Amino acid sequence: MPRGVGFFLSTASSAIWVPPGKIRRPKEHPKARRNKENKTLTARSLSMRFLPRDEKFYDFFETSVKKVVEGATQLEDLIRDFREVALKAKKIKDTEHEGDLITHNTIEMLNRTFVTPLDREDIHNLITSLDDVLDYIEACAERLYLFKIGKTNEEAMLLVGILVKAVKEVEQAVFKLRRLRGADSIMKNCIEINRLENEGDYVGRAAVAKLFEPENSPLEVIKWKDIYETLENAIDRCEDVANVLEGIVLKNA
């Protein structure tokens, strides 16, 4: 009924004129209102749960981590065998470009997907963290080529060995993520990655300290210090991936 308009209320014996503004709707009890809102939210969340979720993101994660492992093993081969350095560095650069494309495709798909299998922020953080590892791997290979390093050393081999172990732990954890089975197993991978990162820090500090022995020239100190730090950064980025994975497990397991 329009506002400001009265009406006649009929009874069995008479008709009563009700002036405008005298009829009020009964107030809804706050508890009843909250229950209604909760039911609406529950129905909405259930409907979201049963909407189809695009599993393609897991394919991207798995393809990306394979590229990370590929890049790390290529770098290990370069450091352990200083032949055809330019060619090996070029192959690592190509691997890094392929990883960039996977990251780009993942973010592009994230921007046009309504229902995602994981939180949008987690998807973005995971794919970009994987990409960061590969970026530092490529940066190390580039330095080995540009600095015209003639031969390897024990410290570099130790660091790249730790890096390869770390990325393989990352790979195992990422491949367990699709169905979130073995959440405890993923956490064990993350703990091992953290241990390897600590080991990398220790080896890196010892390597830098060794550079300052009298027989090393200032130029060699500058070159190798930069290379060691880049290798350490690659290992550190593996720990960043582990932190993202831990968060995903805690939210979804």
Give the side-chain half-sphere CA count within 13 A for 11.
Answer: 6
Q: What is the pTM of this model?
A: 0.79
133 Cβ contact list (under 8 Å, min separation 6): 68, 72, 167, 170, 234, 237, 238, 241
Query: What phi and psi values does residue 238 have, to the nearest 5 degrees?
Result: -65, -40
Structure tokens that stand for 95 in this block: 């691997």
For 104, other C-beta atoms within 10 Å of its C-beta total 12
pLDDT digits (tens), the chain, 253 positions: 445 455 444 454 455 555 555 445 555 555 555 555 554 434 334 333 444 455 799 999 999 999 999 999 999 999 999 999 999 999 999 999 999 999 999 999 999 998 999 999 999 999 999 999 999 999 999 999 999 998 999 999 999 999 999 999 999 999 999 877 668 999 999 999 999 999 999 999 999 999 999 999 999 999 999 999 999 999 999 999 999 999 999 988 7
CA pair distance 44, 25, nearest whole angstrom: 28
Q: In CATH terms, is domain 56-252 a member of 1.20.58.220?
A: yes
- The pair of structure tokens assigned to 202 is 């220790």
d(CA 173, CA 242): 8
Domain limits, the chain: 56-252
